Amino acid sequence: MNLNRIASAILLTTSVFVPGSSVLFAQRGNRPEPAQAAPDAGTSAKPAQIKLEPLSADKSVAQTITVHGKTLHYTATVGTIKLSAPDGHATGEVVFTSYILDGDHADRPVLFAFNGGPGAASGYLNFGAVGPKHVTFGNAGDSPSDPPNLTDNPGTWLDFTDEIFLDPIGTGFSRSLVDEAESRKLFYGPTQDVEYLSTVIYKWLTKNERMPSRKYLLGESYGGFRGPRIAHYLQTNLGVGVNGLFLVSPYLNPSFGDGNLSPVPWMITLPSVTAAHLENEHKLTPEAMKDVIAYDEGEYASTLIKGPSDPAATDAMIQRVTEMTGLSSEFVKRSGGRIETRAFLREIHRDQGTIGSVYDSNVTDPDPFPYSSMQQSGDPILESGKATITEAMVNFVTVTVGWKTEAQYELLSSDVGRQWDRQNPETQRGSVPDMREALAADPKFHVVIFHGWNDLSCPFMGSILTQNELPPTLAKQLSIHEFPGGHMFYTRPANSDRLHELAEKAVANH
C-alpha cells in the first residue's frame, strides 16, 4: 500500500480501504515504528511487570428501558477479564461493559461487540449503535463541547440479545501489565489480537455460565477484520461455536491490488463518491445505486482495463464519472476517471472552504489550512465525536455504574497504533480466508454485513466484490445491506429501526 495516498490528517478509528491502499494507518503525527524484536526464546528473563493501581472489582447496577413498547429490566456491569502467561504471571486486563436482561437466560443469545482501529474502544458501537444508552455524535453540526447527555436507545439490540462490549488492550480502561516489548509480542498485532480476544470471550462465557447460549459477534471497521478471524479461531482452536457474525462497515479484504494496474480499487471507491453526490442532490435511492453499481461493474471496469487504447471509451467514461460525482470535468479528466478519496474530499468542498470526513463526506468542517496542498486538519467526525463519547463513557462507568477508577479512558489510542505490527503478513492476507473456512465448516453460520453508502474509509463495494467471488454454496450464507450515511451510518436516527429489524431477523432465523 502507498501511504502517500492517505493524508496524515486522518485519525485512528478504522483501517481505510482506499485506492492503492491495503494496510492500516496511525494517528497523525505518529508514523509506524519498526516492531521491537521479541525476547530471545532462549533467555530466561521474565518481561518487566508494570506496577499499576489495581482496578476495581466488577460492579453492577440495575437499569430499565422501554423498547418497542416493552419494558426491559436489565443489569449493566463493568468488569475485568484477566489474562496471564503460561507461568501464571499477569499480562493484561480487558475491561468489558455488559448489559444482561433480567430473568431466565436459557434461551437468550449473547453478543460480543468490538470496534476497530486498531486502537479504538467499543464506545462507538455501545453508545452510538446497539447499546441500551445513546449519545448523539457523528453528524453535521455536532459540537464536542455539547453536554454528553445519555438517553435510552430505541434501536438497542438488548430486546433480542444480551450484549457484551469489549475494549482491546490499550483502549478504554483495558491495559497491559507487561513492558512495551512484551506488550507488542502479546497484544499488538493481527494474530495475537485475535487469539487473546477469543480467550477473553471464552473466559466471559465460562465465568458467567453462558457457554450453552447462542453466540454472536459484532465488529466495526477493523473489528470487521477481527470478526471472521475470531469466529474461525473460536470454532477451530477453542471449540466454541459461533452462530452468526455482524459486520458494520468492515475492513474485510485488503488484497484488491495496485490501482495503477487493476481497476478494482477505483471500482470500490466510485460508488461511494457517487452516493455522496446523489445525497447532496436529494437523489440517493436504492434504485439509483443499483444503476451506479451496474455501471461500476460493467462499462467503467472494462474502460479502465482498456486504458488509453480506446480514446472514445475513455472520453465517454470521463463524462459519465463527471456527472456521477459532481466534480469538474477538468478534475476528472486529469484524474483519468480514477477518483482518489482524499483528493475528492478536498475538491468537492473547495468552493465552500470546508473539508469533508472520510467517514461521511457530507459531514464537513471549515478547512483551517485551505491553502495547503493536502489536508492538514483532523477528520471532522473524529474531531467532534471523541470528547462526546469519552465524557459519556467515563460518567456512565464511574457514576452510573459506580466502577471507580482514575485511569484515563482511551477511546482512540495513538499508542496502540504506534506499537501495532503492520509488517505481519496476516494483515495483507485479510480475513476473507477465515470467513470462507468458518462458513464452510458450519452451514448454519451466517454473516450479515452493514454499510453506509457514503463511507469512503471502508466502501461498501469492497464487500460486494468479496461476496461476488465466494463459491455459491457459501455466498448464500452472507448478506449485505446498505444504508444512507457513512462509516457510522447508525448515528442517523432514520437508520436505527431498519438496522434493528435486520439484526433481530437474523438472530430469530437461527
Q: Which residues contact 42 (CB under 8 A, 6 or more apart)?
A: none
Sign of the Cα torsion 382, 383, 384, 389 reads positive
Let me know if residue 342 belongs to a domain.
yes
Burial of 505 (C-beta count, 10 Å sphere; 0-12/13-18/19+)? exposed
Claim to verify: residue 249 and residue 270 sit in the same structural domain: no
Q: How far, CA to CA in Å, does 251 sit from each of 220, 271, 418?
A: 8, 17, 19
Same domain? For 123 and 159 the reply is: yes
d(CA 362, CA 103): 44
**Residues 363, 484: Cα–Cα separation, whole Å:** 13
- Domain around 307: 258-377
Q: Do 95 and 76 belong to one domain?
A: yes
Kindly tell me the burial class for residue 54, based on how many C-beta atoms sit within 10 Å of its own C-beta (0-12, 13-18, 19 or more).
exposed
The domain total for the chain is 2
Bridge partners of 163, per DSSP, are 99, 111
**Domain assignment present for 442:** yes
Residues 116 and 70 in one domain: yes
The mean pLDDT values, 10 residues at a time, for the chain of 510 residues are 30 36 33 34 51 89 92 97 92 97 92 95 96 87 78 94 98 95 94 96 97 97 95 96 97 70 88 94 95 96 90 95 94 92 86 87 84 78 86 95 94 92 81 94 96 94 92 94 95 93 91
Query: Is residue 390 domain-resident?
Result: yes
Identity of the amino acid at 498: R
pLDDT for residue 258? 57
Please report whether residue 28 resides in a domain.
no
Phi, psi (degrees; rounded to nearest 5) at 174: -70, 150
Cα gap 192→195, rounded to integer Å: 5
pLDDT at 13: 37
- Domain-embedded: residue 47: no
- Whole-number pLDDT of residue 256: 64
Give the dihedral sign, CA 295/301/302/306.
positive
Residue 382 CA to residue 7 CA, distance in Å, equals 15
- Are 478 and 358 contained in the same domain? no
Q: Which of 377, 397, 412 is the C-terminal boundary of a domain?
A: 377
Does the residue 6 lie in any domain? Answer: no
Residues 154 and 238 placed together within one structural domain of the fold = yes
434: domain CATH number is: 3.40.50.1820
Same-domain pairing of 454 and 476? yes
